[in-house]
Amino acid sequence: MPLFLAGTTAAYGFLSPALTDAGWGLDRLGWVLGMFLAVPAAAASLIVGPCVRRFGVSRCLLTVGLVDAFAVIALLPLASGWAPFLLTVVVLSVFVAAMAAASTIVYTVNMSLARPGTEATDFTVLAAVAMTASYVLGAALMYAAGTVGYAPVFLVSAALAFLGTAAGVAHTRRIEASTA
């Protein structure tokens, strides 16, 4: 699950610098990244919960992971400085919604893995590992973007989302098979 979360959140860390380099001001960044995108993120988190119950973790994880990876690919024009407001906000909304849904799925899996009597510790350790992987990868990709440019890093981020999705699906299918 750490690879899934890290893969689906990888591109988020360098969105602000990429949008700034594309000419977005801090006021627009604050409004879009700080306020507006909270709506699709919250909605996706609330929607994916019942979907997990109805369709299962693996199916939801696969869907969310693929949406996230393709949204990162759709952000690729940003690497060349092309970021028209409306189109960029739509793509960012899809990306952030998928990222939030992915986090909800990870925490759902983490809760299911918690053992009776040590739930808080188990959940905390699992969450800490996933969050650490996400932050470390984000920092490394930010550094890479400064070194090789945004385009290769967007592509690596999309590849990591695909890879994390494949690993996450394999992991959750094992869990589902063992509890069936």
Q: What is the pLDDT of residues 70-80, one digit of tens each?
A: 999 999 999 99
Q: For residue 7, which of 152, 117, 167, 171 has the smallest C-alpha distance?
A: 167
Q: Is the pLDDT of residue 180 over 70?
A: no
pLDDT-derived band at 28, boundaries 50, 70, 90 = very high
Q: If you average pLDDT over residues 12-22, what whole number do you get?
A: 92
**How far is residue 117 CA from its own chain's centroid?**
30
Tokens of 18: 């990429």
pLDDT-derived band at 148, boundaries 50, 70, 90 = very high
Q: Which residues of 14-51 are buried (b: 16+ CB within 10 A; e: fewer)?
A: bbbebbebbebeeebeeebbeebbeebbeebbeebeeb
Cβ count within 10 A of residue 11: 29
SS3 1: coil
Q: Is the pLDDT of residue 134 over 90?
A: no
Question: What pLDDT is recorded for position 169?
Answer: 95
Specify the amino acid at residue 158: A
Q: If you average pLDDT over residues 85-98, what whole number do you get?
A: 97
Query: CA–CA separation, 26 vs 17, rounded Å?
Result: 10
